[in-house]
A and B are shown apart, each in its own frame.
Chain A
């Protein structure tokens, strides 16, 4: 009985893998072609938050629960601040005179404190989902 050389075995294996790859690509294309395009998602609610003299304005925010929200943090100071919240799992440095965008939620009903990490004694706020 003759056995194939390692080179022939490797070549046959490569050809086999290419065939499998082509079949997988064809199946994926067919599946995508039959799937109707999803409806565009509605734009998330945008909440404006300003930071002035190391104070958040407003310091209390209310948002609907179980809803994703787009938060725009406008830093009106000349120095950077870090918007942070352990409960929201969010941290982002906002350079002076810049606006940061973060996505938050969907959140279960409750209160979620946030603060300015560089000025935690003054820059404090709370986001309530209800």
Chain B
């Protein structure tokens, strides 16, 4: 029970921690006040509660696919927030700071709300566990701690890179996270028969099964699938290319509107 609890909570937390660490690292390099992590988490927890109630209310609606619709809606909103952040990032170093900060916060709040909603369902399932509930709660705390620690470690790892590489690395990571979110949304729509089920393109479960710890981690972070359908692989690739196209377009068009043309990103560690 303890190990199961660690894995379930860790898998949900690590996706949020990964996204938050990328956004906060970008805010650091851009020298903008990053979205307040504590506020985003608290707002996200409130959102998780609301999302949990909402999913229960709509579960039987939409032909019995209210669960899928609710999750896809939040995933789509998160993806759009990530795309908007990516677009504004490419206007650096003259990116509109207030808008960028709000969009980063929105992406974090939405991610916390969705993953937190799943954790709340798990906690609700513990109510009839009797003596095992303490093990489950201990496991949940351990899983959350490991997830947040991993996110913190990744944040400081990103800070060790050169400022010139920070924008490219951060944008790439955001594009990958966004593609993972789109891939997961596609799976839900296939599950609801709103998108066609197809024969998998390949089967990589022999060398990296989804059920393995690394496989589960990659699924949470970038939407890894051992047996992706052509549709899912296409959505993953298309969302990556769209993110890249938006980034390049903003980088090129930015100077025409007074953005982007300016000195390169300063080293945050040097005093100005």
What interface size band does chain A fall in? 20 to 34
Contacts of B64 in A (CB 8 A): 99-101
What interface size band does chain B fall in? 20 to 34
**B111 close to A (CB within 8 Å):** no
Q: Which residue of A lies closest to B192 (CB)?
A: A103
Q: Which residue of A lies closest to B65 (CB)?
A: A101
**A79 close to B (CB within 8 Å):** yes
Q: With the chains together, A102 CA to B67 CA distance in Å?
A: 11
**B138 close to A (CB within 8 Å):** no
Q: With the chains together, A95 CA to B187 CA distance in Å?
A: 20
- CB pair B125–A106 under 8 Å, yes or no, is no
- A68-B4 CB under 8 A given contacts A92-B191, A98-B59, A119-B125: no
Q: With the chains together, A119 CA to B4 CA distance in Å?
A: 8
Contacts of B209 in A (CB 8 A): 86
- A118-B125 CB under 8 A given contacts A90-B191, A101-B64: yes
Q: Which residue of A lies closest to B211 (CB)?
A: A86
- CB pair B211–A95 under 8 Å, yes or no, is no
Q: How far is the CB of B16 from chain A (nearest CB, A)?
A: 18
A83-104 contacts to B, CB under 8 A, are: 86, 89-93, 95-96, 98-103
Contacts of A92 in B (CB 8 A): 67-68, 191
Contacts of B68 in A (CB 8 A): 92
Chain B residues with CB under 8 Å of chain A are 4, 8, 55-56, 59-60, 63-65, 67-68, 118, 121-122, 124-128, 187, 190-193, 197, 199, 209-211, 225-227
